[in-house]
Amino acid sequence: MNYKMKITRVGRLNCRISEYPLDPLISVHSVPRKGNEEGYARLQASLVEEGYDLRFPVHVYQMPNGDDLIASGSHRVNAMRLLGEETVPAVIHQVDEGVADRADRLMLGWLLEIGKHTGHYRTDFEVPLDNLERAQVDDLMEFWIEHNI
């Protein structure tokens, strides 16, 4: 499918969600994942038929180097691109050198590991993980590899 139409947004926009340009968004893995092409086609059809449900915004990490990494929603981003959209509902998370929030450290550490593993994203930025957090990211990667490769 490759459309040039405006996808309707359904639901209510909250203060944390804004329309964000699709162009700078970077996925750390392939879209669609191998073996899930049918589900991806259903996603595109759903967006056309039912609109984009604002309860499920894309989450984006803005890296210190200016890159915008998709934390969740790579399939929705790519589907919206193919449907001719220029923006997507998103929640933006600013990343600073310290990454103070533990949940952000874990998510970002995991995303950067996926990017390295797939070859889709590499950076010199290091997430400051303690030993427990490093072990948790390693466990997440093991699970991700088992279910995505």
pLDDT computed for residue 137 by the predictor: 93
Give residue 12's pLDDT. 63
Is residue 111 in some structural domain?
yes
Q: What is the pLDDT of residue 14?
A: 58
CATH of residue 66: 3.90.1530.10
Whole-angstrom CA distances from 76 to 89, 98, 105 are 10, 29, 24
Residue 91, strand partner residues: 59
107 part of a folded domain: yes
Q: Whole-model pTM?
A: 0.81
Q: Compute mean pLDDT per 10 residues along the chain, 149 residues long, and list them.
A: 66 74 92 73 90 92 91 91 93 81 86 90 88 93 85
Name the residue range of residue 37's domain.
Answer: 9-148
Residue 4, in any domain of the structure? no
- In the 8-state DSSP scheme, what is residue 36? -
The pLDDT of residue 3:
54
CA 67 to each of CA 72, 83, 104: distance values in angstroms, whole numbers, following the listed order: 15, 23, 16
Q: Tell me what pLDDT residue 6 has.
A: 75
Q: What share of the chain is helix, strand, coil (3-state, %, to 5)?
A: 40, 20, 40
pLDDT value of position 13: 57
Residue at 2 is within a domain: no
Total domains in the chain come to 1
How far lies 114's CA from each of 123, 136, 140, 142, in Å? 12, 14, 10, 10
Q: How much is the pLDDT for 89? A: 94
| Domain presence at residue 72 | yes
